Structure 1
Amino acid sequence: MKVTQHIEKANGKSLFSFEILPPLKGQNIQCIFDSIDPLMEFKPPFIDVTYHREEYEFKELPNGLLEKKIVKKRPGTVGICSAIQNKYQVDAIPHILCGGFTKEDTENFLIDMDFLGIDNVVALRGDAVKSEIYFKPEKEGHSYASELVTQINNLNNGIYLDADLQNTNKTNFCIGVAGYPEKHMEAPSLDSDIYFLKQKIKNGADYIITQMFFDNKKFFEFVDKCRASGITVPIIPGLKPISTKKQLNLIPHRFKVDLPDDLIMAVVKAKDNEAVKEIGIEWCIEQSKELQKAGIPVLHYYSMGKAENIRQIAKEVF
């Protein structure tokens, strides 16, 4: 079932969903099930599965030259989505990236998803790999998420890369895209960011899921700006409970997200990370309750493979 259909079926009730990471190479599917099992009592209608593109490592050879080696540390998105749908009978939503994919790769990925009965995808540009300062598109790939959305929407209309194909099958993907309540780190302003977000909607996106935020006021202002610009699709907030002191510096640096002063000082004064975890849970509970009271259709949690803090939040909210 499509995300938009789940929202319609809920009749105004806020749904619970979450996102997981594929396991590191060498681990098995059981570690994924172990992170999902504790959260199934809250009846998530769908679970997002991230995709991690290939990264590069450089090894110095005896002659002094550098050899570039491709490293893919978290493979398995396609298989995990299939396993989730088979085991839990809920919709699994794969993330699909511009980075690391040619247009042909993208088409083949989408064909596989269609064969597996997957109804939803999240289209993302993706971040630059660690060896790059700025994002570099794959040769014969897409530079922007809006272009990726167009290709997915074309496939929904039976338009494949090979124009000579006859009697083509139309896919029926519901397309999610990312939104940034505090703007994308590369955007010059929030208004310009929303301008390009609107382009993704025009190209065929059906819903928006946001980057994490810790101040609901910023989310509500973002929604108001989107609505004022003519964006009418569902906007799903992405939430993450802070759990370590290190994240006070890591989250603003990595995601360009601001932390409220009250949260910062509470974490600074916490005696250890166990206390920080409790602070993060309580903060996220309050965020969730306020969003739920405002009638937000889905509350989406970035679990990062750790279920316990999300379970404690869900127990108080759903």
Structure 2
Amino acid sequence: MKVTDHFKNADKTLFSLEVLPPQKGESVKNLFDHIDPLMEFKPPFIDVTYHREEYVYKKRENGLLEKMTTRKRPGTVGICAAIQNHYKVDTVPHLICGGFTREETENALIDLHFLGIDNVLVLRGDCVKSETRFTPEPGGHHYATELIEQVVNMNSGRYLDEEQTYKNSTDFCIGVAGYPEKHSEAPNMKADIRWLKRKIELGADYIVTQMFFDNQKYFDFVRLCREEGIDIPIIPGLKPFTTKSQLTLLPSMFHIDIPTELADAVEACKDNKAVAQVGVEWAIQQSKELVEFGVPSLHYYSMGKSESVRKVAEAIF
């Protein structure tokens, strides 16, 4: 079922989550052990991230450096199929520009359609760690808008290098990312909203936001979107604090602000157990306020750890 259909059929705010594929060498049991404690809250869909290949440089005997690729996690398509088969819930694979040619993207979408997966979250993706700017794969997409166009074309039965239109088209529900504190590469919020609106005009069906810790940022973002005529569902993304190191790590990675009150509370903690408790309490208050606001779903970034998300969900659902 499509994510948007779940929203239409719901009479209250839903619970959903995002998971990471397990590390290379781990079995699917590691992933299921993470998801199992959260299934009592009946998530109608689970997002699965995609992690592109990274590069390492190894010194050869002649002194030259050899560029080698390394992949640390299994494929998102297979993980989505495993989750959908095991739990009988819908999955939302992340589809990114980086690391894919257009042909590889089409093949991934064909596989997803064959597996009965009805949703994709379309993203440009981040640059690899060894680069300072995003570089598309040769023959790949530069922007999420181009990737959306390819999915929309397949939904209309138009495939690459084919002159005819096929009847056996796909029918993906397309999600895109939104940034309550603006994308790090956008010059300002107005420009960021304008680019987001273009994604909606091309065919995106819903928005899921980057994590935030100040609900006012989300409320302002929704208002700006509505003023620009963006009327599709906007799902807030949440993450409970779990470690003191996240005070600097999260702003650096995701370009977000940590409210002074939360930062002071985390700084005052003696250990990460206390930090996790602060994080749960903050996320519960965020969640309650967002439910009152009428959000379609509370979407939790579990980051491979379910304990804090479970405590928050117990207080809300």
2:286 aligned with 1:287: yes
Once residues 84 and 248 of structure 2 are traced to their aligned partners in structure 1, the CA distance between those partners, rounded to angstroms, is: 37
Cross-structure match for 2:196: 197
Cα shift at 1:164: 2.9
State how far apart, in whole Å, the 2-side matches of 1:235 and 1:66 are: 46
Correspondence list, 1:165-244, <5 A: 165=164, 167-244=166-243
Structure 2: state its 5+ residue gaps. none
Superimposed CA distance per residue, residues 137-186 of structure 1 (whole angstroms, 9 cap, x where no aligned partner)? 11111110011011001100011112234634210000000000000111
Please give the secondary structure, in 1, of the residue aligned with 2:185: coil
* 2:59 is aligned with 1:27: no
Question: 1:3-18 residue pairs with structure 2 within 5 A?
Answer: 3-11=3-11, 13-18=12-17
CA distance in 2, matches of 1:262, 1:283: 10
Unaligned runs of 5+ in 1: none
TM-score (norm 2): 0.99
Q: How many residues align?
A: 317
User: TM-score under structure 1 normalisation?
Assistant: 0.98
**Matched letter for residue 21 of structure 2:** P
CA distance in 2, matches of 1:104, 1:160: 10
Match of 1:2 in 2: 2
Moved over 4 A (4+): none
Instruction: Tell me whether 1:132 sits opposite 2:134 in the alignment.
Output: no
Equivalent positions of 1:307-318 (< 5 A) are 307-318=306-317
| Residue 271, structure 1, aligned to residue 270, structure 2 | yes
C-alpha spacing 1:168/1:65, structure 2 compared with 1 (3 Å):
farther
8 Å CA contact 1:175, 1:205 repeated in 2: yes
Query: Counterparts of 1:49 and 1:254 in 2: how far apart (Å)?
Result: 19
Q: Aligned pair in 2 of structure 1 residues 166, 298: CA closer, same or farther (>3 Å)?
A: closer
Any conservation in 2 of the 1:129–1:135 contact (CA below 8 Å)? Answer: yes
Question: What does residue 121 of structure 1 align with?
Answer: 120
C-alpha contact (below 8 Å) 1:120/1:176 kept by paired residues: yes
Identity %: 62
Q: CA RMSD in A?
A: 0.8
Q: Tell me which amino acid in the other structure corresponds to 1:241.
A: P
Counterparts of 1:89 and 1:231, CA distance in 2: 32
CA contact (8 A) 1:159 1:168 kept: no
CA contact 1:240–1:303 (8 Å) conserved in 2:
yes
Distance 1:101 1:192 in 2: 27
Give the aligned residue type for 1:183.
Answer: K
